[in-house]
Amino acid sequence: MDWWEAITLGLVQGLTEFLPISSSAHLRVVGELLPGGTDPGAAFTAITQIGTESAVLLYFRRDIARIVSAWWRALRGEHGRDWRSRLGESDPDARMAYWIALGTLPIVTFGLLFEDSIKGPFRNLFLIAGTLVLFAVVLGLADRTGAKERTLDQLNARHALAFGLWQSLALVPGVSRSGGTISGGLLMGYTREAAARYSFLLAIPAVLGSGLQQLVTSLDDFGSTGTPSLGATLLATVVAFVVGYVVIIGFLKLVSTRSFMPFVWYRFAFAAVIVVLVLTGALEAVRSAA
């Protein structure tokens, strides 16, 4: 992978990670369309997501600091020594820390169970096109029918786990982490902004954990035939961080006033483009990064 190709993929990652259009699907397609013609792979995707999640950490730094601080005070018993108080019964910020932890369990569990499929069969372009279409329908229905009344102060354990299950669907490229989580939130009656903000916070431990794990386990593979070098991967990660931060600002402003329908139509169009490219031989439906 050349440096400019790494920059291109970092730009794609930063532009698409937070929008409900699937960054992993875009990296899969754009990576193969570049002159090198190689699927950058699940490891490259996971590591570049560290860049975009670092943008989340920067943007939500005050929220994160407040949540961690409130959780620690509740755990120490400052609001009471009983277990309900320690679990943040009287402090929504302390509860949020537990809800994020609970919501992270599904994607960690399924990620470990289906790791081989995530790196292989799930990257089939026909499957990706299908999930793009399916979850375009889901997102469109959720946006049209959701009550859009609940705020994050009303989040409870059942909803936190449900959010996590929706997020875990993004292990299949084409679903979209934000798209799955936001769709679930809308269907449970949360406002667009509440669902979007929680999708960002919920992704932090899962994405950073996955990216760091891939970084450690893939160190010996970087630079081998058909695999991006470590330098190119890190460059793409930095680009993804810068672009991702700008996208967060714009996206949160957008969802507070606009519907998700433009993203729904984009998903349909992108799926159609993928199918055409595969049928015409411009892309291979199944291609190994190695």
* 50-105 per-position pLDDT tens digit: 899 999 999 999 999 999 999 999 999 888 888 888 888 889 999 999 999 999 99
- Identity of the residue numbered 199: S
Phi (first) and psi of residue 38, to 5 degrees: -130, 135
The residues pairing with 190 across neighbouring beta strands, listed in sequence order, are: 150
Spatial distance between the Cα atoms of 114 and 252, rounded to a whole number of angstroms: 32
Spatial distance between the Cα atoms of 238 and 146, rounded to a whole number of angstroms: 36
pLDDT at res. 82: 87
> What is the per-residue pLDDT across 211-268, written as a single tens digit (0 to 9) for each?
887 777 776 666 666 667 778 888 999 999 999 999 999 999 898 888 899 999 999 9
* Secondary structure class of 284 (helix, strand, coil): coil
What is this structure's pTM? 0.87
How many residues are there in the chain?
Answer: 290
Closest CA to 118 of 10, 206, 219: 206
Spatial distance between the Cα atoms of 66 and 248, rounded to a whole number of angstroms: 20
pLDDT higher for 246 or 290?
246
Q: Where in the chain are the domains? A: 3-279
> What is the per-residue pLDDT across 126-144, written as a single tens digit (0 to 9) for each?
999 999 999 999 999 999 9
> What is the per-residue pLDDT across 191-207, written as a single tens digit (0 to 9) for each?
999 999 999 999 999 88
